[in-house]
Structure 1
């Protein structure tokens, strides 16, 4: 599936332990990434400074569901299990 533009669940729900520009210690689960703009689009998309963990994420129906709300719920649940 293609990523749903403006969803942002993968930039909010999971914790990220690697450094992100503007967040040198990564981010906590449920914390909004500082690189997520007001339209829930990544300001680092296709930039070399984008963390590898972010670049490696692939939107799939089993992780992201069919709606933005499902994506937030599913990724939050996956985070809680890890």
Structure 2
């Protein structure tokens, strides 16, 4: 599955403990990453300072669902279950 451009669920729903440019302590779950544009595109995609956890994320149907709202719901649910 290819990532749906403009979704951004993986940049909002999960917590990220790695430093992110502009968020040196990472980001809490449910908080929009400061590197997520108004169009829900990663502003540091392809940059060396993008966290490994972000680079390693692969879109799959079981995590991303069939639309952006479903992706946000699934990832939020997974975060809640594993926190």
Query: TM-score, normalising length from structure 1?
Result: 0.99
Secondary structure of the residue aligned to 1:71 is: helix
User: Aligned partners of 1:46 and 1:19: how far apart in 2?
Assistant: 16
Show structure 1 runs of 4+ deviating over 2 A.
none
Which structure 2 residue ranges, 5 or more long, are not aligned?
A: none
Report how many residues are paired. 82
Using the TM superposition, give the Cα deviation of residue 35 of structure 1 relative to its aligned residue in structure 2, in angstroms.
0.2
SS at match of 1:4: coil
How far apart are the structure 2 equivalents of 1:13 and 1:23?
Answer: 15
Give the TM-score, by structure 2 length. Answer: 0.98
Query: Which residue number in structure 1 is paired with residue 5 of structure 2?
Result: 5
What is the Cα-based RMSD across aligned positions, in Å?
0.4
CA distance in 2, matches of 1:57, 1:81: 18
Equivalent residue number for residue 39 of structure 1: 39
Query: In the aligned structure 1, how far is the partner of 2:63 from the partner of 2:9?
Result: 10
1:52 matches 2:52: yes
Q: Which runs of 5+ in 1 are unaligned?
A: none
1-side partners of 2:45 and 2:60: how far apart? 18
